[in-house]
Amino acid sequence: MNPKVTRRRFIKGVVASGAAATTTGMWYAANGQDRPGGAVERLIRINVNGQMRSVDVAPQETLASTLRYKLGLTGTKLGCNRGECGACTVVVDDVATYACSVLTHSMKNARIETVEGLESPNGDLHPVQQAFVEELSPQCGYCTPGQVMAAVALLRENPNPTREEARHAMSGNICRCGSYDSYLDGVMRAVQLG
Amino acid sequence: MAYMHIGKDFVPPDVPGKVTGRIKYAEDYTREGMVYSRLLTSPIPHARVLDIDASEALAMDGVFGILTADDVYPDGEPQSTGLKILTNEPTLVGEPILALAAIDEKTAETAISRINVTFERLPFVLDPLDSLAEGGANAYPGDQNTFVFRQGFATEKWTEDQVASFRAGNEPTAEAQQTWSLGDLEAGFAASEFVYETTFTTAGYPHHSMEPRSAMAYWEDGKLYLHGTSQSLTALADGMAPIIGVPKEDIVFINAATGGGFGQRARANSIPSMAIPAKLSQKINRPVMMRITREEEFTIGGARQGFQGWIKAGFKPDGVMSACDLYIISDNGGKGGGGDASSAADCIDVLYQPDALRFRGTSIGSNTAHRGAQRGPGQNQIAPIIAPILDKAADALGISRLEIRKINAPRNGDVAGPRQTPFTSAYVPESLDMATRQFDWEGRQARRRQRNGSKVIGLGLGQGYHNAGRSGMDGIVTMGTDGRLKIHNGVGNLGTYSYASTSRAAAEVLKMPWENCDILNVRTDNHLPITSPQDGSNSIFTNTRTMFGAATDMLNKMKEIAATDLGGDPADYDVSNERVHQIADESIGYTYAEVAQRATELGGKFTGEADLPEELAEWTQISVSRLAGSAFMGVYHDPRHEGNPPGFTVTCCEIELDLETGKYEILDMVTIAESGTIVHPQGMENQLVGGAVWGIGLSGYERHLYDPQNGLPASTGYWQSKVPTYLDTPVKIGTGWVDLPDPENPVGARGIGEPSMGAVSAALTAAITDALDGHHFATAPITADMIINHLAGTEENAAPLAQNNFRG
Ligand code: FES
Ligand code: FES
């Protein structure tokens, strides 16, 4: 890097140009309503919560849009729609994934789990959900489905995390209500609930 | 006092819906025939719309219509500050100019790109001090830069020398718009042994509620159904009806859950954008969904007022704060602000009880985000500024930092504020003792400023306050012939669980098992009473009063019916096990199902058809009239309370600050509440830890930035306008509460939502200051860059006291 470009000036430049580029809405670009250049939606099959679902998907459609607006799975939330907040977290092949930041077309061979798929067939809550209820982890609840899915992925990978490990694993999920402490209490209780 | 429900944890009925994703937020609804609205917003910070040519857009297939400011304000736009639904006089980038409805959002955005708007560019300003200076640009319509109550827009100017002198660190010499004072300031400073004076800034920053304020509306049989967000349903709908222009009886507001409010969803005039789908739907006769993006949320949401201030505080040899002089320029942003600055002065008066205090304040607009109430408006901005000053005084006077706070602490019987209002109760010394004991404050003093390589330990102690209670609202409870208690509650569901915890006051009065209670909220056609907006930390105090009152009315009616039917006097009766019965012989009585049946048969006052409290709000009267005759009813209008019900907090924290990176880790934190009787411990804990995260953000991270050349917001998302994450907050936050009842509330409760933030911000800033050998930045936030620059002896690369700009 040019030594004359200080770190601060560099950041300033990036932020200013980012702002100029993002002042329009462009909502449709990610919500499956766009057909640029004559591109058409294609019918594909994806595995959501253990079921194969057929759905028409536009080329640039994100998984979050497909789940929410095509499959009616509105438990997956959109907080930013650009990979900043984690509200849209789902589990793809056992890995916590921002659904707003992956294309549905890339999901054809994947196993997608959303918050709606966690309860057992008899209606029992998943241990993470049960623990979050018992610890009153959510506040406004808007980030909660994402927090639940991040915790589910964590406990599959590491069934017995320390609080510190949980904190790092969950750190891609923002909670504007600041309920981090209560979510971590929930994760640690979920470990006990198994 | 032994309670059945108060002070006990329970599962609020919406929590399972939150962990399963089943609970619905506004954007989760659909309606047959629903179309989509997108906004055309101002690309420039200050302009006038000269012409809108939408002919090409309106001719497109799939476009149903547009809505402009001329549609929503046929008699002209309101000439006052505050957010507008749509405007032809934008005063910030992103302000909505028009809305267009189309078959889908792609069509809507394509159509919007074909609308030609002719703007007249106007000069803009980003820093209130630049606007104050003679010749500086003015943010508001008509080339004005301030708003005077009852007079309208006005212009306030200082000489360039006055602005330069203030920026240079001196007391402002210009006359302030607003002044109030207590005691003899001159005598106070004369009696001082230690006097500290500094200019300071606090940054503005967005609310950034996680749920963008999307809304959906449709009309059916002349009624408006509006799916939106709020902090309290009836407070919002009551104010929204006149904004939309629909009679109160014809609006149904539906709001099962709100994804964060923090002050900016409290009142209808802070979310006028919800009127857009309502009015557009009316115009095109279809359901309209308006989804809002994160960038749009930044603009049509709101931001905290920034301060550019000067403070001088004097302390007597014994540590008593003898005088405090405060002068604040508040950044009102593009659409007007609030009373934050005066509240900051009030907070100092409350927490430190100075012998004399003077407040001077002036509010100036800038072409930046709308400013409105944000968690502890004023009280919390001043918290990180004042805490290090207390520590400096303690060190200078040879008093411990705990002791100086106890010496100045408010106590039962004390008064504060411009009207010298007495507290309803106050136990701050007890809170200080509890927090410092739980944290082992004294034991940790040996670690203060200890070095470990490049890292150094800092300790901080902080206090928070907010007025935490109101009155004058209404309550309704009903009981059907199944004997279940229905609690009609207009308090919003934004994460505090106050809608449920205040309902428990009604269950308490009737000794009703919680599983036999139903809370009716979610939509206003559940016949909800008026509530105060869930802001100002007031819900617990305000609405336990109304719930308790409505249930007491029902209790008294039960006793009256039983006495009339079964003999004796109402005073001979009590309730237990869902029965109203004689005290002397419990076998004589009615089950709740039976007494509800009798009430329904008797009608009149027992079913809300007669003898209603005269003072019921219009909204409550509508709800009661719709319920009248259908069920056994308890109704209550809450009279005004006496005094100031305060919410207090105390926080201790220990940090380890890395002198090489400017970053710090919060090693430990304990935060204690003093807010009367605790109604819902888990809810209280959530408010304490949530407020702590907000306090950490205020002290260390949150600010918004504008491109000085074009006035574009550069921090419209979570990435550029950082809010604290899991990794910025302690691994575990210790909490506790004093739990002493307040006499002005029937269950002894007061609120806590806002003070939970101030104490943490105060303690963290004090700890940073401590770690840096007492260097007082006199600013919030203190970022890692600022710390590094300070340690390197580098000057800040920004105008002194800069607002809405980079510091560091
Ligand atoms: S919505 Fe996907 S990360 Fe925010
Ligand atoms: S609970 Fe509100 S954003 Fe996390």
CATH number of residue B492's parent domain: 3.30.365.10
Find out whether the beta carbon of A151 lies less than 6 Å from any atom of ligand 1. Answer: no
* pLDDT of residue A25 exceeding 50: no
Spatial contact of B587 and B472, defined as CB atoms under 8 Å apart: no
For residues B624 and B737, state if they share a domain: no
Q: Find residues 44-83 of chain A whose CB sits inside 8 Å of chain B.
A: 73-82
Contact B20 A116 (CB under 8 A): yes
Assigned domain for B475 exists? yes
**Which residue carries 């409550």 as its tokens?**
B620
**% of chain B surpassing 70 pLDDT:** 100
- Chain B residues touching residue A132 (CB < 8 angstroms): 15, 19
Asked whether A174 lines ligand 1 (CB < 6 A), one says no
Token pair 């739980």: residue: B438
The distance of A18 to chain B (nearest Cα, Å) reads 7
B422 shares its domain with B529: no
Inter-chain contacts counted by CB atoms under 8 A, chains A and B: 229
User: Chain A: residue nearest B696 by CA?
Assistant: A178
Alpha-carbon gap, residue B399 to B461, rounded angstroms? 14
Residue B337 has what pLDDT?
A: 79
Q: Is A42 in CB contact (< 8 Å) with chain B? A: no
Residues in chain A within 8 Å Cβ distance of B710: 20
Q: How far apart are CA B455 and CA A144, in angstroms?
A: 36
Using CA positions, which residue lies closest to atom 4 of ligand 2? A175
Q: Quick one: pLDDT band at residue B622, thresholds 50, 70, 90? A: very high
Residue nearest to ligand 1 atom 3, measured at CA: A83
pLDDT tens-place string over residues B239-273: 999 999 999 999 999 999 999 999 999 999 999 99
pLDDT digit string (tens) for B752-804? Answer: 999 999 999 999 999 999 999 999 999 999 999 999 999 999 987 788 999 99
**What domain range is B553 assigned to?**
470-637
* Statement to judge: residues B591 and B670 lie in one domain: no
- State the Cα–Cα distance between residues A64 and B637, nearest whole angstrom: 47
Distance CA B209, CA B370 (A): 15
- Report the domain count for chain B: 2
Is A86 touching ligand 2 by the criterion CB < 6 Å? no
- Does one domain contain both B494 and B556? yes
- CB contacts of B108 in chain A (<8 Å) are 28
**Cβ contact B294–A144 (<8 Å):** no
Q: Which of B300, B293, B209 is nearest to B258 (CA)?
A: B209
Ramachandran region, residue B387 (left: φ > 0; alpha: ψ -120 to 50; beta: rest): alpha
Q: In the predicted model, what is the mean pLDDT of residues B604-633?
A: 98
**Which CATH code is given to the segment(s) A127-193?**
1.10.150.120
Dihedral sign for Cα B407, B409, B411, B415, please.
Answer: positive
How far does residue A137's CA lie from ligand 2's centre (Å)?
9
Is residue B313 a part of any domain in this protein?
no
Which among B28, B293, B724 is the nearest to A81, CB-wise?
B293
Do B540 and B552 fall into the same domain? Answer: yes
Q: Show Cβ contacts of residue B153 under 8 Å, excluding neighbours closer than 6 positions.
A: B79, B80, B81, B140, B141, B142, B144, B146, B147
Phi and psi at residue B668, to the nearest 5°: -155, 150
Assigned domain for B25 exists? no
B623 lies in the same domain as B676:
no
Whether the predicted pLDDT of B563 surpasses 60: yes
Identify which of A88, A149, A170, A176 to mutate to test ligand 1's pocket (most ligand atoms within 8 A of the CB): A88
The answer to whether the CB of A78 is under 6 A from ligand 1 is: yes
Q: Which of B666, B767, B771, B763 is nearest to B449 (CA)?
A: B771
Contact B21 A76 (CB under 8 A): yes
Pick from B606, B637, B668: which residue ends a domain?
B637
Task: Tell me the CA–centroid distance for residue A80 and ligand 1, in Å.
Answer: 5
Q: Which of B602, B617, B637 is the last residue of a domain?
A: B637
Quick check: A23 and B295 CB within 8 A? Answer: yes
Ligand number nearest to the C-alpha of A65? 1
Model confidence at B40: pLDDT above 70: yes
Ligand 1 atom nearest to CA at A101 = 2
pLDDT of A14 reads 29
Do the chains contact at B689 and A182, CB–CB below 8 Å?
A: yes
Separation of alpha carbons B275 and B240, rounded Å: 8
The 8-class DSSP code of residue B796 comes to P
> Which chain A positions have a beta carbon within 8 Å of B262's beta carbon?
176
Cross-strand partners of B321 = B315
Q: What confidence score (pLDDT) does residue A16 get?
A: 30
User: CB of B526 within 8 A of CB of B626?
Assistant: no
Cα(B258) to ligand 2 centroid in Å equals 10
Contact map slice: A 88-107 vs B, CB within 8 A: none
pLDDT at A27 over 60: no
State in Å: Cα A149 to ligand 2 middle. Answer: 14
- Name the band, by pLDDT with cuts 50, 70 and 90, for residue B805: confident
* Banded model confidence at residue A39, pLDDT cuts 50, 70, 90: low
The amino acid at residue B472 is G
Whether B260 is in the pocket of ligand 2, judged by its Cβ within 6 Å, is yes
Q: Is cis: bond before B429, omega within 30 of 0?
A: no
The set of residues, in sequence order, having a beta carbon less than 8 Å from that of B368 and lying 6+ positions away, is B45, B92, B126, B204, B303, B331, B333, B334, B704, B706, B711, B713, B804
Q: Distance between the two ends of chain B, CA-based, in angstroms?
A: 53
- Cβ-defined contact of A74 to B28 (cutoff 8 Å): yes
Query: What is the arithmetic mean of pLDDT over A122-144?
Result: 98
Nearest CA-CA partner of B770 in B514, B388, B505, B407: B388
How many angstroms separate the alpha carbon of residue A175 from the centre of ligand 2? Answer: 4
Same domain, B615 and B631: yes
Distance CA A99, CA A91 (A): 9
In this prediction the pTM is 0.95
Tell me the pLDDT tens digit for each residue of B705-749: 999 999 999 999 998 888 999 999 999 999 999 999 999 999 999
pLDDT tens sequence across B446-481: 999 999 999 999 999 999 999 999 999 999 999 999
Shared domain for B632 and B649, answered yes or no, is no
pLDDT at res. B806? 74
Is position B36 within any domain? Answer: no
Q: Which of B686, B705, B730 sits opposite A139 (nearest CB)?
A: B686
| HEC-encoded secondary structure of chain A | CCCCCCHHHHHHHHHHHHHHHCCCCCCHHHCCCCCHHHCCCEEEEEEECCEEEEEEECCCCEHHHHHHHHCCCCCCCCCCCCCCCCCCEEEECCEEEEHHHCEHHHHCCCEEECHHHCCCCCCCCCHHHHHHHHCCCCCCCCCHHHHHHHHHHHHHHCCCCCHHHHHHHCCCCCCCCCCHHHHHHHHHHHHHHC
List the single residue in A16, A128, A177 with the smallest CB-CB distance to B714: A16
Tell me the angle at which helices B755-771 and B379-397 cross, rounded to the nearest 10 degrees.
Answer: 40
| B768 and B674 part of one domain | yes
What whole-number distance in Å separates Cα of residue B167 and Cα of residue B161? 10
Radius of gyration of chain B (CA): 27
For residue range B575-616, what is the model confidence (pLDDT) as tens digits?
Answer: 999 999 999 999 999 999 999 999 999 999 999 999 999 999
**Residue A141 CB–ligand 2 contact under 6 Å:** yes
- B380 in helix, strand or coil? helix
Chain A residues near residue B690 by CB distance under 8 angstroms: 139, 177-179
pLDDT at site A93:
98
The pLDDT value given to residue B430: 98
Token code pair at residue B500: 């449920």
Pair (B620, B650) in one structural domain = no
Question: Is the CB of residue B643 less than 8 Å from the CB of residue B422?
Answer: yes
Which uninterrupted H or E stretch holds B161? helix B160-167
Kindly state whether residues B556 and B655 are assigned to the same domain. Answer: no
pLDDT range class, residue A1, cuts 50, 70, 90: very low
pLDDT value at residue B737: 98
**Chain-chain contact of B21 with A125 (C-beta, under 8 angstroms):** no
Nearest-angstrom CA–CA distance, B117 and B57: 12
Alpha helices in B667-710 (DSSP H): 681-700
Say which residue, B1 or B271, is predicted with more confidence. B271
Distance from CA of B722 to the nearest CA of A (A): 10
Which run of H or of E encompasses B225? Answer: strand B223-227
Which of these ranges, A18-32, B62-76, B197-211, B532-546, has the smallest mean pLDDT?
A18-32
- The verdict on the CB of residue A127 being under 6 Å from ligand 2 is no
Counting ligand 1 atoms within 8 A of each CB, the residue from A77, A81, A115, A149 with the most, and so the one to mutate, is: A81
* B586, amino acid identity: E
Q: What is the DSSP letter of B176?
A: P
Angle formed by the axes of helices A144-157 and A180-193, nearest 10°: 40
Interval B375-431: pLDDT, tens: 999 999 999 999 999 999 999 999 999 999 999 999 999 999 999 999 999 999 999
Tell me, using a 6 A CB cutoff, whether residue A80 lines ligand 1: yes
Query: Across B103-191, where does the E strand assignment appear?
Result: 116-121, 146-148, 152-154, 178-182
* Mean pLDDT calculated for residue range B177-187: 97
Residue of B nearest to A73 (CA): B21
Contacts of A27 in chain B (CB under 8 A): 38, 105, 109, 291, 293
CA-nearest residue of chain B to A179? B690
| Residue with the larger pLDDT of the pair A15 and B197 | B197
- Per residue in B126-155, pLDDT (tens digit) is 999 999 999 999 999 999 999 988 788 999
B486-494: average pLDDT: 97
Cβ partners under 8 Å of residue A160, min gap 6: A191
Q: Which residues of B touch A144 (CB under 8 A)?
A: 18-19, 21
Q: Is residue B478 part of a domain?
A: yes
CA dist B426 and A21 (Å) reads 52
Partners of residue B104 in chain A, C-beta under 8 Å: 28, 33
Pocket test for ligand 2, best of B207, B210, B294 (most atoms within 8 A of CB): B210
Long-range contacts of B574-581 (CB under 8 A, 24+ apart): B575/B510, B575/B511, B576/B511, B577/B511, B578/B483, B578/B511, B578/B512, B578/B513, B578/B516
- Which residue of chain A has the CA closest to B704? A15
Is the beta carbon of B718 within 6 A of some atom in ligand 2?
no
Region A152-177: mean pLDDT is: 98
ipTM of predicted assembly, 2 dp? 0.97
Q: Is A93 in the pocket of ligand 1 (CB under 6 A)?
A: no
A158, A95 contact by CB (below 8 A): no
Question: Which tens digits make up the pLDDT trace of A56-96?
Answer: 999 999 999 999 999 999 999 999 999 999 999 999 999 99
Band of the pLDDT at B807, cuts 50, 70, 90? low
Domain residue limits, chain A: 127-193
Are residues B354 and B188 in contact, defined by beta-carbon separation less than 8 angstroms? yes
Give the pLDDT confidence score for residue A40 in this predicted structure.
86
End-to-end C-alpha distance for chain A, whole angstroms:
50
- Structure tokens given for B697: 């953000």
Taking only residues 134 to 173 of chain A, the set having a beta carbon closer than 8 angstroms to any beta carbon of chain B reads: 135-145, 148, 163-164, 167-168, 170-171, 173
By percentage, how much of chain B surpasses pLDDT 90?
Answer: 97
Task: Label residues B597-612 b or e (16+ Cβ within 10 Å = b).
Answer: bbbbebeebbbbbeeb
Nearest to B38 among A8, A25, A85 (CB): A25
**B464 Cβ below 6 A of ligand 2:** no
B435 and B564 assigned to the same domain:
no
